[in-house]
Amino acid sequence: MAKDIDEEFEEFEEKIFNTFIERNPAMATHLGIHEYDDELPDLTREKAVEDIELIEEWVEELKDFEEDELTEENRMAKKLGVHIFEMQLFSLKELKHWEQAPSAANTIGSCIFPLLKREFAPLEERLRSIKGRIEDIPDAVEEEKSKIEDPVKLWVDMAMESAEQLPMLFKLVQMLAKQNDSFEKEELSELNEAINEADSALEEYVEWLKELRKDAKQDYAIGKEKFEELLDKRKLDYDGEEILEIGEDLLEKAQEDMEKYAEQIDPDAGVGEVLDEVKSNTPDSFEEALEWYDEGLEDAKKFVKENDLASIVEDEDIEVTETPEYMRNIIPFAAYIPPAKFDPTKKGIYVVTPPQDEEKLENYSYWDVRNTTVHEGYPGHHLQLASATTNDDVFRIFSHAVETVEGWAHYCEEMMKDHGFDDTPEARLIQSNDVVWRAARIIVDVKLSTGEMSFDEAVDFLVEKVNMDQSDAEKEVKRYTQNPAYQLSYLLGKEMIKDLKEDVKERMGDDYSEKFFHDTILYAGSVPMKYLREIFDKKIEEN
């Protein structure tokens, strides 16, 4: 009996998923598939070339499925799959950062850190997997050398910073292994030997990077043509000039909002003076700041529940922890690591970077912490990405549309205040200052990516417009250079969500509810806004 076309499509999806996971042990761990937890990814050029060929085959096979013969769900899956893989091909074949940016240290760190923090198995089991990955480090750093053919000097510097800090993570592994009674003495001896060999390999790797740096190029910008092509591939429906204009308009509006809220707080002082006063409400120590983050998460989650703003996914949890050393050169403030799809609990990790100087705690002021916690926690990244794990479709599992993910988290900052959470002039001032930051990011992202703005000019722009500390601005811009069109997605995505909300409200009339709108986004998966609109169309028709 001939197979149904939907059955064929779903079998093909499963084949893609299994192949992808087998070839990507880091992604397997990220998703909560632990069969490959003791392996590092293959970092050779041959693997990268094979990936390109494989993805090209998958795209052609996906396109062969006739959409009108598939169910509605599978039609969406096909479109999403083609979109995801065409984005990957553009990145691999056109941007080619994989042969310009040494990334072994960050790859190693991102393979070890989740095994330490996610409690899906007893610690001793996870330590054994970590030992296996540490044993692979000498081969991994050697493998990467075959990939880097067109190095960028700044990115080589960033790789050195990460590689020099990575041994700090190994020290934490050693300490936990020594304290664990179920980790055998022989295993501890093997771990120590593996760490010694890894340390030596990383020292040699840093020396190789120093040599590589001598002939590395300065330019990292992808240029206007590729930037426009990237925007088109992202399906954002805006070109670079339009996005730049949006950023400039929103920067001006956010600055006006800051003036309004500053006047409400103290009509006799300027914006900068009032902002400094609001930011002076700081914790006595970084440890107290972490307590504020925990309290903020608890308060925000309770508010979402009590005001029926969204459904809280079952078995979710979030842990606040210090940013590991190897990540601090590119994460000056805070970031979020999402839960694993296949782990028994949906535990996210909220990393917060301690200040370089213990005295400098202004970035952890009370209202900054509260606003960031809404963004990273509830109902921001954590709730959205935990909810997204409820999707079983392969391509919704793989999808990570930045305008949806970052746009949602940024949208939540304002939405929560509109509903009464921390709706004070002080909180609004800080939130508006963060809009200024995101608007500045749009301008910097467009100009940095197209080559219209230098690294130093971008840093100066953030210092001037956002009142950001020089060293923090440098860390920010380092990250921007490697992720063209990412940073513009925060505020642009927020505005796209607000536009979508107005459209949905108009169409639904009295049937509209905030919970319906929010849950539809949360549980759709991190799909591009274009496809999110199609999902809303279907939901509204059914309503």
Residue 101 forms part of a structural domain: yes
| One domain for residues 129 and 244 | no
What is the rounded distance in angstroms from the CA atom of residue 280 to the CA atom of residue 364?
9
Given a contact cutoff of 8 angstroms between Cβ atoms, the answer to whether 477 and 448 are in contact is yes
Q: Is there a domain that residue 504 lies in?
A: no
Q: Looking at the structure, do residues 60 and 208 belong to the same domain, yes or no?
A: yes
Number of domains in the chain: 2
Residue 520 in any domain: the answer is no
Residue of 162, 187, 163, 164 lying closest to 177 (CA atoms): 187
For 117-183, what is the HEC assignment? HCCCCCHHHHHHHHHHHHHCHHHHHHHHCCCCCCCEHHHHHHHHHHHHHHHHHHHHHHHHHHHCCCC
User: Does any domain span residue 505?
Assistant: no
What pLDDT was estimated at residue 1?
40
Sheet of strand 346-352: strand arrangement: 316-322, 346-352, 334-337
Q: Would residue 113 count as lying in a domain?
A: yes
User: Does the N-terminal peptide bond of residue 379 adopt cis geometry, omega within 30 degrees of 0?
Assistant: yes
Distance, in Å, from the CA atom of 99 to the CA atom of 322, rounded to the nearest integer, reads 31
Q: Which of 156, 183, 214 is the last residue before a domain boundary? A: 214
Fill in the DSSP letter of residue 2: P
If phi over 0 gives left and psi between -120 and 50 gives alpha, with beta otherwise, what is residue 318? beta
What DSSP state is assigned to residue 363?
G
In this predicted structure, what is the pLDDT of residue 14? 97
The per-residue pLDDT for 359 is: 66
Residue 370: which domain range?
Answer: 227-493
Tokens of 416: 């929560």
Give yes or no: residues 155 and 290 share one domain. Answer: no
Residue 71: inside a domain: yes
The confidence score (pLDDT) of residue 543 equals 76
268, 398: one domain: yes
Mean pLDDT for back-to-back runs of 10 residues, the chain (543 residues): 82 97 97 98 97 98 95 96 98 98 97 93 97 98 96 98 95 94 95 98 98 97 98 96 98 98 97 96 94 98 98 95 86 89 93 83 92 96 97 95 98 98 98 97 98 98 94 94 97 98 97 98 97 96 85
Q: Do 284 and 318 lie in a common domain?
A: yes
Same domain, 201 and 231: no
In the structure encoding, which two tokens stand for residue 225, read together? 């043509």
**Residue 519 forms part of a structural domain:** no
What's this model's pTM, rounded to 2 decimal places? 0.95
* Local structure of residue 218 (DSSP, 8 states): S
Question: What backbone torsions phi and psi does residue 199 show, to the nearest 5 degrees?
Answer: -60, -45
**CA angle 35-36-41, nearest 5°?**
160
- For residue 434, give the nearest of 209, 296, 251 by alpha carbon: 251
